[in-house]
Structure 1
Amino acid sequence: MERHSDIIDQVFRPVYGLPCWNVQPGIGSFLTMEFGQPHLVVHEPHKSRTRSSRSKKPSMRRLVYPHGDWHLWIYCCEWHLYTGKELIGDSALKSTSKRRIIRAAQELGGQKLIQVSVDPRRGRSVFHFDLGSRLETRPYDLDSEQWMFYDAKDYVLTYRADGLYQHQPSNVPREDDDWQQFATGRKI
């Protein structure tokens, strides 16, 4: 796998050596994890525009949850978590329901991220952790956003299945024509 160090190292360097925490399975095969100091995020209740009482109910609640200085969201991709050569869990939702996803989340909790590498030609990436685990991602279609890394300065680095990326403020809508190619690096 090639190492495209410029933007990857720039964005991930502050979390190298930090343990991930609150590693959670999400909807489908999504996986999220936090890094850095925890902060409470509060979403205040708001009036829903829908007429359905079932849909209105969640908007009438105050939602509070912990978030780290940095947040990694493994999104629309296939992923596999290995510790050494052993497959711990993956994104497959076939017969095992979410058991393997939950097992992967439990395995990652507390491990320190030590390196991230991408292979834009194949749309793959690998997250390396200090206790021997590695989280490998690969595309399951041509252009979905595989993962998003939100940093402490409210920027998000988004990596797409076609190997392109965007790095911009997280409150700015992503534009289809604003994707960039990684500068090629050295083999690792």
Structure 2
Amino acid sequence: MSAILKMPTPASARAQFEAFRAELPLPVAKARQGVGGYVTLDFGNKRGKDTITGDVQYDWHLWVYMCDWDLYEDNTRLLWRRESNHSLAGSILEQLAGEQLTAIDMDSRDDCFVLRFTGGYSLNIDPDFYDFDASDDMFMLFRYGERHCLSFSPGRRFYPAA
């Protein structure tokens, strides 16, 4: 049995998370499934193209990984990282494009997050208790033009990452 050590959140890292929340509502520009069960979402306005891939970049990019996640429409679960039909995941996630991210709820007791969207959608993010290490990041949040991103893990809390 291992214990989860919760470290205090650096003020600057928490401030970056709150800055993201303060910009809500934000339009979802893209939502897609990455390698394995990862999910990426882009928010806001077009900002330019990636110099390597040529992909369009937006104000904010959220990469959800190393955790469990569920996508709901109203009270119906559409996708679940562990059991979803991955061949359908892309088309289901694409339904979020054009919706607005309106709220982010965080429960610091169990480190769960709920991202709420227009259209009745919600993305629930929680630690991966089956193959879990408290140092695993649940997500990384990138802001266009910044060198560092904001990461969150139950063990480290919010922290700036290179």
- TM-score, with structure 1 as normaliser: 0.67
Task: Determine helix, strand or coil for the equivalent of 1:105.
Answer: helix
Which of 71, 75, 79 lines up with 1:85 in the alignment?
75
Structure 1, unmatched stretches of 5+, are 1-5, 44-62, 173-188
**Which residue identity is paired with 1:77?**
C
Q: 2:100 matched to 1:107?
A: no
- The aligned residue for residue 32 of structure 1 is 40
Paired residues for 1:44-83 under 5 Å = 63-83=53-73
Aligned counterpart for 1:21 among listed residues 4, 7, 29: 29
> How many Å separate the matches in 2 of 1:104 and 1:161?
28
Q: Which has the larger radius of gyration?
A: 1
Say which of 160, 166, 172 aligns to 2:153.
Answer: 160
* Counterpart pick for 2:50 among 41, 51, 57: 41
Alpha-carbon offset, residue 103 of structure 1: 4.3
Runs of 4+ in structure 1 displaced over 3 angstroms? none
- The Cα offsets for residues 92-126 of structure 1, whole Å up to 9 and x where unpaired, read as 257x3x13532441232221011112122212111
1:150 and 2:142 are equivalent in the alignment? yes
Partner amino acid for 1:36? G
- The answer to whether 1:9 aligns with 2:15 is no
Aligned CA RMSD, in angstroms, stands at 2.1
- List runs of 5+ in structure 2 lacking aligned partners: 1-13
Match of 2:113 among 121, 125, 128: 125
* Matching residue of 1:58: none
Q: Deviations over 1:139-167 (max 9, x none)?
A: 1113210011112351422111447111x
Q: Distance in 1 between matches of 2:80 and 2:29?
A: 18
CA positional deviation for 1:18: 2.0
Structure 1 residues 26 and 13 mapped into 2: Cα distance closer, same or farther (>3 Å)?
same
Aligned AA for 1:151?
A: R
Which residue identity does 2:153 align to in structure 1? R
The count of aligned residue pairs is: 142
Whichever residue aligns with residue 134 of structure 1, its letter is S
Distance in 1 (CA, whole Å) between partners of 2:126 and 2:116 is: 15
CA contact (8 A) 1:81 1:104 kept: no
Larger strand fraction of residues: 2
